[in-house]
A and B are shown apart, each in its own frame.
Chain A
Amino acid sequence: MSLVTFMFYFFECVTAVAAISLVFIRNVFYGALLLIVCLLSLAGIYILTFAEFVAITQILIYAGGVLVVIIFGVMLTAKISGKPLVVQHGNVLGGVLVSGAFFMLLTWLITTQTFREQEPAIATSDSAMINAIGIGLMTDFILPFEVAGILLLVALIGAAIIASTIKSKKV
């Protein structure tokens, strides 16, 4: 087993274990940390599957942005009593049934399919692929790129207004 294969299955195991333990954890803060472990090891898998730009974006945005926002959210919604925020579970039977059945269905579908053979990996350098992504963003994907910019602006303004503590006038 080569080192790359070992890394691949290592990252897969870390991701799976983190995702499963997110189901059982009751402390929201530990849940946020587990989610970050899961997303960072997903970034490792992305690197091994020749998607370096997506991996770097994942690390930058999730570890740098979403983690901070979620931990702020956890701290701002914890009652000021020094106790950690503990979550109750509800709908356990229905949830286990639904997601277990869905997982079984997906597993059956995936294992019974035969997919197209993978093209042999063409040895393109990383900078060539990042070049292609940049050119693609400005040519083929210009419309979704601009719409994503507008969406980010709208989300920024909306989140700032919703979360601001200034009392809005009653309508």
Chain B
Amino acid sequence: MFPLHHLLLLGALLFSAGLLVVITKRNAIMVLLGIELMLNAANLNLVAFNQLYSQQLNGQMFALFVIIVAVCEAAVGLAIVLRVYQYYQTSTPDEVTELKD
């Protein structure tokens, strides 16, 4: 069995790295990558705490549903990014300031 602290610290590192990517990168696809990283940090915590209770599977179930939601988010997010790129010819979130023409 591995110490729980190491898993949780790795999760904290992943979440902070994802947050930094979301804040600093000026490209919508990189922002989506950062969000995936943050969702996986949450997943890692769920699996790590599920390890404490080896008879129950609630944490793993939640991790599976988080993965499903992450996939939906990636698909719809990339579709929106493509649409915005076709319209504005840019994928920088800061330059997209209007919702309609």
A21-56 Cβ-contact flags toward B at 8 Å (1 or 0)? 011000010011001001100100110111101100
Instruction: Given A96-B20, A103-B13, A121-B1, answer yes or no on A162-B80 (Cβ-Cβ < 8 Å).
Output: yes
Residues of A within 8 A of B48 (CB): 49
Residues of A within 8 A of B1 (CB): 118, 121
Number of interface residues of B (CB under 8 A): 69
Within the complex, which residue of A46, A57, A115 is in contact with B52, where a contact is CB–CB below 8 Å? Answer: A115
A50 to B2, CA, bound (A): 11
Number of interface residues of A (CB under 8 A): 82
A-B contact count (CB 8 A): 218
A-facing residues in B1-38 (Cβ within 8 Å): 1-2, 4-10, 12-21, 23-30, 32-34, 36-37
B21 touches A144 (CB 8 A): no
Question: Nearest chain B CB to A85's CB is how many angstroms away?
Answer: 7
Residues of B within 8 A of A5 (CB): 2
The verdict on B79 contacting chain A, using a C-beta distance below 8 Å, is: yes
A92 touches B24 (CB 8 A): yes
The verdict on B99 contacting chain A, using a C-beta distance below 8 Å, is: no
For the complex of A and B, 9 pairs with smallest distance between CB atoms: A95-B23, A155-B72, A106-B12, A103-B16, A163-B79, A99-B20, A159-B79, A162-B79, A19-B17
